[in-house]
Amino acid sequence: MKPDELAFANEQLAGMLKSGLPLEGSLRELTASMKSGSLRTELEALERDLAQGTTLPKALDKRDLPPLYVRMLKVGVKGGNLPEVLQCMADHYRRESTLWIRLKSLMVYPLLVLVVAIAFAFGVDWIGEEIWKIVYGTWPRDMPDPRKEGLTGLLLWVPRIFLVLFALVALVVWALPDWRHNLRWQLPAFHEAALSQVAASVAMLLRSGCPLDEALGLVRELEGNSPGGVELEEWSDRLARGEGKPDEFARGNLAFPPLFTWVLNSGGEDLAEGFERAAEIYHTRAMNRADISLCYFWPLSILTMGCVVGSQVIISFLPLSRMMDSLWSQ
pLDDT at res. 219: 86
Single out the residue of 312, 186, 119, 292 nearest to residue 300, CA to CA.
Answer: 292
Q: Where are the domains of the chain?
A: 3-65, 92-208+246-330
pLDDT, tens digit only, all 330 positions of the chain: 788 888 888 899 999 988 888 888 888 888 888 888 888 899 899 889 888 888 888 888 888 888 888 888 888 888 788 888 888 888 888 888 888 887 777 777 777 777 776 677 667 666 666 666 665 555 455 555 555 555 555 666 666 676 677 677 767 666 666 666 677 777 778 888 888 988 898 888 888 888 888 888 888 887 877 888 888 888 878 777 776 666 566 555 667 887 887 887 776 678 888 888 988 999 998 888 888 877 777 777 777 777 766 766 666 666 566 556 655 655
What is the pTM for the complete model shown?
0.72
